Amino acid sequence: MHKIILLIDFAEDYSKSLLKGITKYSREYGPWVFCRMPLFHRETMGIDGILNWALEWEADGIIGQLYNEESIAKITKAGIPLIAQDFKERFTEIPNITGAHHETGAIAADYFLKKGFKNFAFYGFTDIVWSRERAEGFEESVSRAGYKVHYFENQNARESEIELWYYKPSSLSQWLLSLPKPIAIMACDDRLGQHITEACRHSRIRIPEEVAVLGVDNDEMICELSDPPLSSIAQDAEKGGYDAARLLDRMIRKETACFYDIVVKPMQVITRQSTDIYATHDDFIASSLKYIHQNIDKNLQVDEVVKQVPLSRRSLEMRFQNVIGYPIYKYIQNLRIEKFSKKLLETDLTVFEIAMELGLNDSKNIARQFRQVKGCTPLEYRNRYLAGK
């Protein structure tokens, strides 16, 4: 029976999902005994105090957020297998629970580009790997589309917390007021996404009409407390926790000497009010997009969209292609697949039942379209993200 110390932030949804994956593995291959150690122990006990506790308790392994190489060296020298959760930078001497951060940034850029935005911004930290790499992935995709990214980056988390409301107007509010509108902003995580929504409300900037905001982690408490509710990119942290537990198990049993990082993959954008907008000055396209999104749960056809505007089908399709970058039928298909994939992950409905909910009577056809967009079958997609293996 392994004794495992967990030194992570138990208040975050991301960390809670990691814990779900870790405990799932322990139930299948344990049981394990856990010591949940809140992060304040890092400051009150110090690394020496944590290490003394681990040795006295006879801990078999540790998963946690650690500050520096010195902390890592002390624990590994004591012979305790250790996996670090992404905190500021990745460590080279031990495995990390990290993320596909460039991919996450690219997903955010693609999401906004499909909505027709031409102005983009990023709000994050310069000294934290997951923020920096999300910004890089975001900018790379935006640049390929021919646009540039405006930046507001704090040096550290403490500065960003203090500056919001202790100084009026804050430099964050000034930055938001200076940006071209409408603009799509990616925040490095949900907490900073809520900073944006609060600063916009303070400066009377309309969301999502002037500023659309997208966070990362889909922390439901933060997203729903935000005014308006915050859209966010969900990550498969539960699978990351499961994979980390499996690696730690092998390290404890000395079954492997090859360390590798556990990479948490982004899953999909969860759309809430903060991005529920289509950035176009073409009223006909805006009306078409609004109708598509309001009726996507029906078996929507292009002819029905055409009826909403005083244009011929050919004229609307040409304008839609020029503004959005996709034919109408393709936009409908992609949106339907995103709705379909969300239901795959959030419900236990069968493929047929989900198709029925979306007003479709041909589950084989939707499965074929799903494979074209996602590169796998609906069941493979569900298993990949929910099996935890």
Q: Are residues 61 and 93 in the same domain?
A: yes
Q: Are residues 137 and 221 in the same domain?
A: yes
- Bigger pLDDT: 247 or 46? 247
Q: Is 272 in contact with 230 (CB distance < 8 Å)? A: yes
Per-residue pLDDT tens over the stretch 68-93: 888 889 999 999 999 999 878 899 88
Q: Indicate whether 364 pLDDT > 90.
A: no
Q: What is the pLDDT of residue 287?
A: 86
Q: Are residues 111 and 213 in the same domain?
A: yes
Q: Are residues 357 and 320 in the same domain?
A: yes
String of DSSP letters for 40-80:
HHHHHTHHHHHHHHHHHHT--EEEE----HHHHHHHHHTT-
Q: Give just the sign of the alpha carbon dihedral 204, 117, 192, 269.
A: positive
Other CB atoms within 10 A of residue 23 CB: 19
How confident is residue 144, by pLDDT bands cut at 50, 70 and 90? very high
Q: Are residues 116 and 192 in the same domain?
A: yes
Share of the chain above pLDDT 90, in %: 57
Q: What is the pLDDT of residue 158?
A: 46
Number of domains composing the chain: 3
Per-residue pLDDT tens over the stretch 79-133: 999 999 987 889 988 999 999 999 999 999 999 998 889 999 999 998 899 999 9
**Domain end (from 223, 245, 275):** 275
CA 376 → CA 354, 382, 384, distances in Å? Answer: 17, 10, 10
Q: Are residues 50 and 61 in the same domain?
A: yes
Q: Indicate whether 166 pLDDT > 50.
A: no
Q: What is the CATH number of the domain that holds 323?
A: 1.10.10.60
Q: How far apart are CA 230 and CA 213, in angstroms?
A: 7
Task: Specify the 3-state DSSP secondary structure of 389.
Answer: coil
Q: Are residues 107 and 226 in the same domain?
A: yes
Q: Are residues 46 and 121 in the same domain?
A: no
- Bigger pLDDT: 340 or 40? 340
Q: Are residues 88 and 148 in the same domain?
A: no
**Domain end (from 275, 304, 338):** 275
* pLDDT, averaged across the chain: 88
Query: Once rounded to an integer, what is the mean pLDDT over residues 42-47?
Result: 81
Q: What is the pLDDT of residue 162?
A: 41
String of DSSP letters for 298-356:
S---HHHHHTTSSS-HHHHHHHHHHHHSS-HHHHHHHHHHHHHHHHHHH----HHHHHH
Domain extent for 259: 2-99+237-267
Q: Indicate whether 167 pLDDT > 60.
A: no
Per-residue pLDDT tens over the stretch 304-335: 999 999 999 999 999 999 888 789 998 898 88
What are the φ and ψ backbone dihedral angles of 18, each rounded to 5 degrees? Answer: -60, -45
Q: Is 4 in contact with 62 (CB distance < 8 Å)? A: yes
Q: Are residues 95 and 105 in the same domain?
A: no
367: buried, middle or exposed (CB in 10 Å: 19+, 13-18, 0-12)? middle
Q: Are residues 149 and 115 in the same domain?
A: yes
Q: What is the CATH number of the domain that holds 57?
A: 3.40.50.2300
Q: Are residues 130 and 90 in the same domain?
A: no
- Bigger pLDDT: 33 or 161? 33
Q: What is the pLDDT of residue 328?
A: 94
Q: How far apart are CA 85 and CA 264, in angstroms?
A: 11
